[in-house]
Amino acid sequence: SSSVMRLLVEVALAGVAGKTIFEVGKNLGGIEERDTWPDSRTLWEQYIATDKRRYGRPFVVRGFAKNWPAFKSFADDKEMAQRWGNEMYDIVETEIKETRKAPQHEMTISKFLSNYEEKGWYSVATIPKAMQAEVPLPPHFHCGNFDRRMHGAVLWQSRGGTKSVIHNDGQDAVNCQMDGSKHWAIWHPKYAKKIQSRKFGWVDASRDKDFKEAYGQFGGRIDVDSVDLERFPGWDELEWYELWMNPGDCLFNPSAWYHTVHGEPGRSQSVLLWWYRQDNFNATDCEVTHAWPPGVTLADCTWDYSPGENEQATKCGPSTSKRDEL
């Protein structure tokens, strides 16, 4: 009968289509959930210096960003355009599913907000200083040299439906979902040798003629919507963690952990803080640094530390902190 035929066609098509990245491998379930954001020492001892290689481990604090001023002021495009429309977004991607090959643009915030839903633009821009004041600084930056290598604060915004390549970052990160929901798959860095191999579809854009217009190293030959397990069967063997991020949730994402992130349809926005990890935890700094007054924000930090390019130490907090007198 026609219904049987239709079923057979569907089964055949499903076979051809392959499985999404969330349907392969061994799902270990969620990552650790904490009730509060850790202080400097706790973050270092429990989530970074966990082993000789300092792989660390990720965790999420649900609802942590809900009391930030930005949680309200970034929630409405009209308010954003009124208050900050003339500020610039330095990087706007022109693709929703990341290939790293599409052109990037710089534009005013008002131009972005008027167009992103229709055109499928995706802001991955540095947060302008005026907007940084809406985002309180997570408490672990207070001391221990966490604030000495601050790299960047970024606002991600799109109409939703975004899909990233599989990659990892050279920096530790706090990633806070402000609007919309995102679905994460996360792999432990113990798999580095496997994941960063040709057998797993990894590419280095600087050396690969098929990716000469792209940048960086990433899982460039893996289609996250349809993983080709005949070519790359290894993905079906790896264990991975699953994470759903909803508005207000903040993730600590240690450098070196691999991930892909898929946005649900609808307005999506997140704030990302990136810093390069200090060589060691400075306990003395925590003894001499005064408690911060309330209200220290991203705007109270210097940024742009980058190894080999700009190695000027950064710092956060009120400029009257005791460390200036030492």
Rounded CA Rg of the chain: 21
What pLDDT is recorded for position 241?
98
Q: pLDDT averaged over consecutive 10-residue blocks of the chain (326 residues)?
A: 65 67 98 97 97 96 98 98 98 93 96 97 96 96 96 97 95 98 98 98 95 94 97 98 98 98 97 97 92 91 96 84 41
pLDDT at position 7 is 65
User: Tokens representing 205?
Assistant: 């854009």
Q: What is the pLDDT of residue 160?
A: 96
Helix 77-84, helix 109-119: angle, nearest 10:
150
Coil vs helix vs strand at 116: helix
pTM for this one?
0.91
For residue 10, the model assigns a pLDDT of 58
CA count, 13 A, side-chain hemisphere, 99: 9
| Rounded (5°) CA angle 302-305-310 | 115
pLDDT of residue 323: 41
Strands 88-93 and 265-275, how do they pair?
unpaired
- 144: region left, alpha or beta (phi > 0 left; psi from -120 to 50 alpha): left
Listed in order, strand segments (DSSP E) in 181-306 are 182-187, 203-204, 217-218, 239-245, 250-253, 258-263, 265-275
Q: What is the pLDDT, as a whole number, of residue 88?
A: 97
**What's the CA gap between 116 and 241, in Å, rounded?**
31
Sequence-distant (≥ 6) Cβ neighbours of residue 264 within 8 angstroms: 160, 161, 180, 181, 182, 183
Furthest C-alpha separation in the chain: 85
Answer for the pair 24, 236: CB distance below 8 angstroms, yes or no.
Answer: yes
Write the Ramachandran bin of 87: left for phi over 0, alpha for psi from -120 to 50, otherwise beta.
beta
Residue 169, C-beta contacts closer than 8 angstroms, at least 6 positions apart: 253, 255, 256, 274
pLDDT value for 321: 40
